[in-house]
Structure 1
Amino acid sequence: MAVIEPLGHHELLLVIVQLTLLLFVARAVGEAFSRIGQPTVVGELLAGVLLGPSVFGLVAPGVYGSLFAVSESQFHLLEVISWLGLIMLLIVTGLETDVDLIVSKGRTAAILSLGGIIVPFTTGFALGWVLPVTFIASPDQRLVFSLFIGTAMSISAIPVIAKVLIELDVIRRDIGQLILAAGMIDDTIGWILLAIVAGLARTGVVDIGSVATTLFSVLVFLGLSFTIGRRFVAALVRWVGTVLGSDVALISTVMVLALAAGAVTQYVGLEAILGAFVVGVLVGQVKRFSYELRHTLEVITLGVFAPLFFAIAGLRMNVAALFDTTVFAAGLVVFGVACFGKFAGIMGASRLAGLSRWEGITIGGGMNARGAMEIIVATVGLGAGILTTDMYSIIVAVAIATSLIAPAIMRWSIPKIEMSEGERERIEREEFLRKSFVNNLGRILLPTRGGADSRYAARLLEPLVRDREIDLEVMYVNDASDDSDGTHGGLFRRLRSSRFAPGRAERESERSAAVSPAEADRFFEPIERRLRERDQPSRTFVRTARGTVADTILEELNAGYDLAVLGESAVGDRPGESLFSTTVDRIIQETTCPKMVVSTPFAPDSSLDRADERIDRILLPTVGTVSNRHAAEVAFTIAAAENALVEIVHVVDEPHFDDRFATRPDLSEHVRIGEQLVDREAAFGRRLGATVLTRVSLSETPEAEIVDLADRTDADLIVLGSNMRPISRRAFLGHRVEYVVRNAPCPVAVLSSL
């Protein structure tokens, strides 16, 4: 087999220079349009026109000829980059698509889509019958030509619409999701119509078998994607996040999935963008693919690949071809019919769907954008011998013109759409969940040695992770110096959920183990007993310490966890001494992820029974810091799941008697601020479904007041927020927090999220 010659030096240099110019001009013109209040997509589309034969080709024909008037094979190199940008843009669009919202509005989206297909197709078909024969590549195939014009008029440009919605910051609004839903239905029908027309152009007859195959392929692909595919994508993303534990690996995984799905849909004649969009939707439902990762992918896409895609689409446009009087007049007619058909269809359908006039205008303006989708349709028509070059230029011009008009219409009409109370609550809830500490937990590590504190920590984690997509991993570290636990080297892991990593348990169980599975069960069983009702992936594993126990736990935490939960009773009795053991003290100091330490006053012989006791009352001291707010969210989440009462307390630090002046200081302002603070936390707690009480008190020793209050009210748990910081070679939580941990009559959970 002959070795394929690599890309030549000149060809490679040319494509690099082309990409440099396209990206630079696209971003520059896009930013210029953004400065004057227009979406950047408008400038990015025009950038291609400026670099094409219409402007650059006239101003500097020699330079243009050497750069862009190249062979088809050379231009195809740019097309590959363009398609990659299109696929990435559809992934981002899918990530922002709310399937539940679309399903809830499915009837409305279907009505809008039918209106956006039937009327434009009918008017486009009629136009095809009356256009001069000079625009038909094969004059004897006017039927095919008319069907093709109807299809071209029906299509919408989801990438352009999505980009505009993102830039206008309305993609999460009901109107944005409705446009995306209707547009996707529109385009799916459009691709089916295109397959029919292309088959008719090739054979001269309607290929019913091809049409049926295409329709069947759509239904099968979507059906498999949202059943088996949904579970597979969720399991794969979690597995990559757990085993590889890097953002790079997760983004690579999404790209591989999108390309693979795109290859499947392209193979069955549905276009690669459908597969990429569906993968984006499926990944968007997996919490392990966090908001930060989505933002990273969005920045890369909108900053590099989307501008290249839009610029290359504009590069195909030759305005000079429209200067001919006949071509120009025909272009105006086609443009008018395209806009009328789309707006008339959408406005009529919006009334049937019960939408307002401004909602109809917004949806019509958005779906009127044809963009690169129509350019692709025009390319198919040109290649199939349906269109002349003049008609191709007209359709491309209409695609760009409608894409330029759509953002202006949407920017004008969207502010006139009033946001309903339900929509406002949904958006506020989504914004809260995006910033929520508990909701953004994807992976928790609970190291255990089987003691009372770690058992009670598991008791607190069970309501915290209940009904949430959180991977809880319980690890027993086998210290080689502990003869009771064995002294063999190596690594032993035992996975409890085959859904988490199928087949891995069998492979790892063959390795030499420091403890047997039966011995491991002795440590895990009390904790697993608290977690058996969860229908979420979890695992338990034993790891032999390499170095110290702290070294081993820290090494595991470096694999990427969102929270480390440590069960540990206070060992230091006096201020200045380390509050916890050397191992826990070091983990607190050195790990960079949030950590929560759970300490109990239980006697060892009663620890198992006490760990199963109900939680009826939680005491939540607060001073208004970020860690306090995150600790409050943990307390409220546990309380809502356990039907417990949360008492929020703020203790005003009253000066000691020896520090006072002759008269008692006026602390009314401090009390007022404290009342505002606890009221704010109470509103937050009620929003999370917890029952709350508030209390503001004065004390010379707030820490003693908190301990006394816990004793008086018979609190079952105290939840504190604290910034843990190293002082004097030990973890320092603050004197008052440490006092509460040492003296509290009930378990204490201390959360440091910073």
Structure 2
Amino acid sequence: MIGIDEANIFYLLLQLSIIFILTNFVNSFLKKNNQPTITGDLLVGIILGPTILGSFFPKIYNFIFPQNLVQVAMLDTLGWFGLFLVLLSTGIEVDFSSIWKQRKNALVISILDIIIPIVFSMAFIYFLPSRYFEFSDNKFITSFFISVIMTISALPIAIRALREVGIMKSDLGFLIISALTINDIIGWIVFTLLLSLFSMKFFDWEIAVKITLYTGVFTVLALNIGKKVVNWFFSKVVNQDSDGVQGVLAVLISTGVVFGLITLEIGIHTLFGFFIAGIVAGDSPIFTKSARNTVHNFVYSIFASLFFVNIGLKINFFESFNLFLALFITLVGVTGRYLGAWIGSTLSKNIKYRNIISIAHTPGGEMHIVVSLIALSFGLLNKELFVAIVFAAILSSIINGPWLAIASKRFNYLESFEVLVYPGIKLEAQYKEQAISKLLDLLKLEYREANILENVLDREDIVCSGLQNSIAIPKGNIEDETKTKIIYARLENPINWNSLDGKLTKNIFLILTSREEQENQIKVVKKITNFSKKCDEIKGLDELATEKNIEDYITKILSD
């Protein structure tokens, strides 16, 4: 009889200790260089696995990672649990309600960013030498399946890159995130459907139609009725839990389990249920930014690392690495996703910013690795193709940040703007709507004020303007003005702006631009976002006591 004894527990604890120490060391270095931590997790797995430790120090490798069934299964279980939590966390980052309100342009970009990469990738992958398809009975189907994997862009990588360059909170940043989010949802639906259909021993049209129909019905019901049910559960557990985090985690994981069981019964992969559960839970107003950060840190500091490290522990990357295939998959994937977003941006009349939009769609990231691993476990890929896709995902993620930073240099120079400081500097307000309304009073806009206030609040409803370190940048459009206006106020009593770091907001920069001046909005957002990362400069602003000094200080920030 196979069971777990104290030796198994000891080896598991030894494995976890080594993994966590190494991943923390490597990832701290990568974070300082603005690189994705998934690279560090995979690197640690490659170092500890058969690629390096197993090849050069086999005795140490076999001591730390005994290859008996129970020991391997214990680490595998934690790794797969980590994968489920990664999908939950990814779904949480999707603000579906806000994105749906702005779906028009985003849908065009997303749909073309799925269709064109599939067609483009198929045109090249299908003509790869037959030896790469020795594991498959149908070269066309396998090529199509790999092309579908290539369409899914990396939302977390894009979010990180947009934050780094400072345009995340602009209208352009929101359009990019909206398009990527819809790309994620459609991509996962297509992938899970194809996975279910391709895994059938005998293709049956009736079963295929049922699976497709059930998946569509489940998704619609989950994003509507399911959202209300989950929100009700959140309201109950948060009221009973002093800090809300324990209850939120319980509801979140339970929702993932329930949705996963439903998708399992439908005939598609359980991971899709967890992804949709994350979207549904993340749409709840009770699920605060601080709770999201807690969940994200909990998942990515422990369980996500285990999953990606475990990939490196299972595969000898030296034996399975093919440089030509890896570079080929990278080039085809990046080019296909770039072209899809480029054409989508053109058709949606975002020609002016299509290069930025297209670059943001190029990284593969963790979702490429996840879906290709699932395909590998189903026998739809061999190890050589899997390693090539992993290489492409990592390389496209690494180059995305620097590439986007170079492209966004056009937003460095701001001209024709006016800085206004609230009389007396300090503003009394109990909530952000009141604060914004008082700032607009400065302009004496009379009958137009209500429309502008509504415009600013609508944007706040779509994407919260709270930055880190107690700064908020609400935005709006103002007609018949030639200059961009930035109105500053320091709150007498800081208020909750639902900022990412959970801090109360003290400094408000209201940004008003005309519809013809939208690029100025991006430039101001970039300048102030980068300013919000500099604690010493924020302290310098807080120490200023006269309107003139503050006006000069802000003017310098925006002009540099």
Q: What band does the TM-score fall into relative to the shorter chain?
A: 0.5 to 0.7
User: Aligned to 2:346, which of 351, 358, 370?
Assistant: 351
Quote the Cα distance in structure 2 between the aligned partners of 1:437 and 1:313. 50
Correspondence 1:234-383 to 2 at 5 A: 234-247=231-244, 248-316=246-314, 318-321=316-319, 327-356=322-351, 359-383=353-377
Q: Which amino acid aligns with 1:344?
A: L
Quote the Cα distance in structure 2 between the aligned partners of 1:629 and 1:164. 26
Indicate the residue corresponding to 1:391 in structure 2.
385
For the residue of structure 2 that corresponds to 1:300, the secondary structure is helix
Correspondence 1:498-537 to 2 at 5 A: none
Quote the Cα distance in structure 1 between the aligned partners of 2:76 and 2:495. 53
How far is 1:625 from its partner?
5.7
Deviations 1:319-373 (A, max 9, x none): 31256xxx3223322222122211121222122222356x544444443333343
Identify if the C-alpha distance between structure 1 residues 386 and 226 changes in structure 2 by more than 3 Å, giving closer, same or farther.
Answer: closer
Identify if the C-alpha distance between structure 1 residues 52 and 153 changes in structure 2 by more than 3 Å, giving closer, same or farther.
Answer: same
How far is 1:144 from its partner?
2.3
User: Aligned to 1:402, which of 396, 405, 420?
Assistant: 396
Indicate the residue corresponding to 2:74 in structure 1.
77
Quote the Cα distance in structure 2 between the aligned partners of 1:86 and 1:419. 43
TM-score under structure 2 length normalisation = 0.65
TM-score under structure 1 length normalisation = 0.50
| Structure of greater Rg | 1
How far is 1:267 from its partner?
4.0
How far is 1:31 from its partner?
0.8
How far is 1:133 from its partner?
1.6
Indicate the residue corresponding to 1:21 in structure 2.
18
Higher helix share: 2
Indicate the residue corresponding to 2:9 in structure 1.
12
How far is 1:102 from its partner?
0.8
Identify if the C-alpha distance between structure 1 residues 151 and 227 changes in structure 2 by more than 3 Å, giving closer, same or farther.
Answer: closer
For the residue of structure 2 that corresponds to 1:626, the secondary structure is strand
Quote the Cα distance in structure 2 between the aligned partners of 1:329 and 1:160. 25
Give the stretch that moved more between structures: 274-283 or 328-337: 274-283
The gaps in structure 1 that reach 5 residues or longer are 421-434, 441-622, 634-672, 677-754
Correspondence 1:405-416 to 2 at 5 A: 405-413=399-407, 416=410
Deviations 1:609-658 (A, max 9, x none): xxxxxxxxxxxxxx98639999xx9xxxxxxxxxxxxxxxxxxxxxxxxx
Identify if the C-alpha distance between structure 1 residues 269 and 69 changes in structure 2 by more than 3 Å, giving closer, same or farther.
Answer: farther
Residues 26 and 48, structure 1, Cα contact 8 Å, conserved in 2: no
The gaps in structure 2 that reach 5 residues or longer are 415-427, 434-489, 498-503, 505-543, 548-560
How far is 1:152 from its partner?
2.6
Residues 342 and 358, structure 2, Cα contact 8 Å, conserved in 1: yes
Quote the Cα distance in structure 1 between the aligned partners of 2:158 and 2:260. 20
Deviations 1:65-100 (A, max 9, x none): 333473566444334333433443444444443334
How far is 1:143 from its partner?
2.2
Give the stretch that moved more between structures: 249-258 or 264-273: 264-273
Identify if the C-alpha distance between structure 1 residues 144 and 438 changes in structure 2 by more than 3 Å, giving closer, same or farther.
Answer: same
Residues 154 and 367, structure 2, Cα contact 8 Å, conserved in 1: yes
1:30 aligns with 2:27: yes
Identify if the C-alpha distance between structure 1 residues 152 and 166 changes in structure 2 by more than 3 Å, giving closer, same or farther.
Answer: same
Q: Which amino acid aligns with 1:142?
A: K
Residues 38 and 366, structure 2, Cα contact 8 Å, conserved in 1: no
Indicate the residue corresponding to 2:47 in structure 1.
50
Identify if the C-alpha distance between structure 1 residues 626 and 274 changes in structure 2 by more than 3 Å, giving closer, same or farther.
Answer: same
For the residue of structure 2 that corresponds to 1:295, the secondary structure is helix
How far is 1:48 from its partner?
2.7
1:117 aligns with 2:111: no
How far is 1:246 from its partner?
4.8
How far is 1:130 from its partner?
1.6
Q: Which amino acid aligns with 1:103?
A: W
How far is 1:185 from its partner?
3.5
Indicate the residue corresponding to 1:642 in structure 2.
none
Quote the Cα distance in structure 2 between the aligned partners of 1:235 and 1:173. 32
How far is 1:199 from its partner?
5.5
Identify if the C-alpha distance between structure 1 residues 112 and 674 changes in structure 2 by more than 3 Å, giving closer, same or farther.
Answer: closer
Residues 128 and 142, structure 1, Cα contact 8 Å, conserved in 2: no
Correspondence 1:734-745 to 2 at 5 A: none
Identify if the C-alpha distance between structure 1 residues 14 and 152 changes in structure 2 by more than 3 Å, giving closer, same or farther.
Answer: same
Quote the Cα distance in structure 2 between the aligned partners of 1:385 and 1:369. 25
Identify if the C-alpha distance between structure 1 residues 413 and 318 changes in structure 2 by more than 3 Å, giving closer, same or farther.
Answer: farther
Q: Which amino acid aligns with 1:393?
A: V
Q: Which amino acid aligns with 2:259?
A: A
Deviations 1:367-397 (A, max 9, x none): 3333343334333443444433323332333
Quote the Cα distance in structure 2 between the aligned partners of 1:171 and 1:83. 31
Indicate the residue corresponding to 1:142 in structure 2.
139
Indicate the residue corresponding to 1:732 in structure 2.
none
Quote the Cα distance in structure 1 between the aligned partners of 2:228 and 2:308. 34
Residues 321 and 393, structure 1, Cα contact 8 Å, conserved in 2: no
Identify if the C-alpha distance between structure 1 residues 221 and 13 changes in structure 2 by more than 3 Å, giving closer, same or farther.
Answer: same
Residues 240 and 250, structure 1, Cα contact 8 Å, conserved in 2: yes
Residues 262 and 272, structure 1, Cα contact 8 Å, conserved in 2: yes
Quote the Cα distance in structure 2 between the aligned partners of 1:629 and 1:170. 22
Name segments (4+ residues, structure 1) moved above 6 Å: 166-170, 627-630, 673-676
Quote the Cα distance in structure 1 between the aligned partners of 2:378 and 2:271. 21
Q: Which amino acid aligns with 1:143?
A: F
Quote the Cα distance in structure 1 between the aligned partners of 2:273 and 2:29. 33
Give the stretch that moved more between structures: 157-166 or 250-259: 157-166
Correspondence 1:563-582 to 2 at 5 A: none
Identify if the C-alpha distance between structure 1 residues 16 and 368 changes in structure 2 by more than 3 Å, giving closer, same or farther.
Answer: farther
Residues 81 and 309, structure 1, Cα contact 8 Å, conserved in 2: yes
Identify if the C-alpha distance between structure 1 residues 322 and 363 changes in structure 2 by more than 3 Å, giving closer, same or farther.
Answer: farther
Residues 2 and 70, structure 2, Cα contact 8 Å, conserved in 1: no
Q: Which amino acid aligns with 1:66?
A: F
For the residue of structure 2 that corresponds to 1:130, the secondary structure is coil
Identify if the C-alpha distance between structure 1 residues 624 and 260 changes in structure 2 by more than 3 Å, giving closer, same or farther.
Answer: closer
Identify if the C-alpha distance between structure 1 residues 243 and 351 changes in structure 2 by more than 3 Å, giving closer, same or farther.
Answer: same
How far is 1:243 from its partner?
4.1
How far is 1:269 from its partner?
4.2
Q: Which amino acid aligns with 1:101?
A: S
Identify if the C-alpha distance between structure 1 residues 146 and 94 changes in structure 2 by more than 3 Å, giving closer, same or farther.
Answer: closer
Residues 114 and 183, structure 2, Cα contact 8 Å, conserved in 1: yes
How far is 1:215 from its partner?
2.8
Quote the Cα distance in structure 2 between the aligned partners of 1:88 and 1:139. 31
For the residue of structure 2 that corresponds to 1:11, the secondary structure is helix
Deviations 1:636-690 (A, max 9, x none): xxxxxxxxxxxxxxxxxxxxxxxxxxxxxxxxxxxxx9998xxxxxxxxxxxxxx
Residues 195 and 211, structure 1, Cα contact 8 Å, conserved in 2: no
Indicate the residue corresponding to 1:510 in structure 2.
none
Higher relative contact order (CA 8 A, sep 6+): 2
- Taking every aligned residue pair, what percent have the same amino acid on both sides? 25
1:102 aligns with 2:96: no
Quote the Cα distance in structure 1 between the aligned partners of 2:403 and 2:280. 31
**Over aligned residue pairs, what C-alpha RMSD do you find?**
4.2
Quote the Cα distance in structure 1 between the aligned partners of 2:316 and 2:130. 22
Residues 26 and 307, structure 1, Cα contact 8 Å, conserved in 2: yes
Identify if the C-alpha distance between structure 1 residues 99 and 128 changes in structure 2 by more than 3 Å, giving closer, same or farther.
Answer: closer
